[in-house]
Amino acid sequence: MKLLEWVNIKPVESLKGKDLLTLFDYSTEEVKELLELAKNLKFLTKEGKCPPLLAGKTLGMIFEKHSTRTRISFEVGMQQLGGYGMFMHSRDLQIGRGESVYDTAHVLSGYLDGIMIRANSHQMVEELAEHAQVPVINGLTDLFHPCQALADMLTLQEVQGELAGKKLTYIGDGNNVAHSLAIAAAHLGMHIAIATPPGYEPVEWIAEKISKLAITNGGSLLITTDPVKAVEGADCIYTDVWTSMGQEEETQARLKAFQSFQVNDALVAHAKTDYAFLHCLPAHREEEVTASLIDGPNSYVFQQAENRLHAQKAVLASLL
């Protein structure tokens, strides 16, 4: 790409003014266009030529949970696009003292051009989006983490090229990260394998929708309790922490349930030799993954973390 071609970069027009609550709401073509835009914005950013597509725009960022990557990537992304990201912890807002989501949505819509929220309840975020007059972006809920999944796919495209027909394996808790990762992979026609201990599988209705989407695009979905079966022939292996924020009381039970689901040398021996290892971070080394793997030559976790910035710029530019 020539540096002067940034003037021709176009946001995904069909997404203008829309929300991003889950990638189920986007077409496969829209997901592909977002990833292409993210790739181009990353290139231009590296060259110091990121276009000011959001000059004069303000994104309000509401956090109910602690954050490193989500907060910083959205804040920096708005700045690089010429706009402004405003951090707001829920405890500092009236919503943290009992103001209704309805009232909060209407008030914030009068001040902001968009709202990003990292929340406990997906239902609350849906309610916020229903009543807001500006786009609402899901920065993480108990069910979905779509921005993370876009960064994951961008990373895999950079590392492995065309993803259709390749095998993506997720090992661990069938949580929000697993849900959104599988949705994004299904859009791109990948064969998805998810291995969890019994009782920690993905939500059934979400898994059913993922399976239908994957089949439509030439892929497939396997859910199993056998990590070795899931990893066999994998092009990518992905894991997440066993105990997420808000689950601290379950820590000991989870450590016991997940002990045979660690991503280690013995497990990855069943994957392709050039597999890519991904982790959404933060990571607990020697728990869900050994240090030798997450810090080894097959790991792309820091490239993946950086790509949160560029994938989210594509989302911001298109929605706002």
Over the stretch 56-94, which tens digit does the pLDDT of each residue have? Answer: 999 999 999 889 999 999 999 999 999 999 999 888 888
The tally of domains found in the chain comes to 2
Q: Is residue 122 annotated as a catalytic residue, yes or no?
A: no
In a domain, 162, yes or no: yes
Range of the domain at 90: 14-145+308-319
Global pTM exceeds 0.85 = yes
| Pair (157, 117) in one structural domain | no
Query: What is the per-residue pLDDT for 3?
Result: 45
Q: Is 318 annotated for ligand binding?
A: no
251: pLDDT confidence band, cut at 50, 70 and 90?
confident
d(CA 315, CA 184): 14
Q: Residue holding tokens 């090992």?
A: 171
Identity at 113, one-letter amino acid code = D
Q: Strands 84-89, 58-63: parallel, antiparallel or unpaired by DSSP?
A: parallel
Position 96 scores a pLDDT of: 62
Domain assignment present for 8? no
Task: CATH number of the domain at 231, please.
Answer: 3.40.50.1370
Q: How far is CA 288 from the centre of its chain?
A: 19
Dump pLDDT digits (tens) for 100-139. Answer: 999 999 999 999 999 999 999 999 999 999 999 999 999 9
pLDDT at 244: 79
Residue 3 lies in a domain: no
Tell me whether residue 245 is annotated as binding. yes
140 with 246, same domain: the answer is no
* Residue 280 annotated to the active site: yes
Domain shared by 240 and 287, yes or no: yes
Active-site entry in 187, 279, 308, 310: 308
Does 270 carry a binding-site annotation?
no
Q: Answer yes or no: is 2 within a domain.
A: no
**158, part of any domain:** yes
- pLDDT tops 50 at residue 1: no
Residue 211 shares a structural domain with residue 231: yes
Residues 78 and 121 in one domain: yes
User: What does the block give as tokens for 196?
Assistant: 């969890």
pLDDT single digits (tens) 103-113: 999 999 999 99
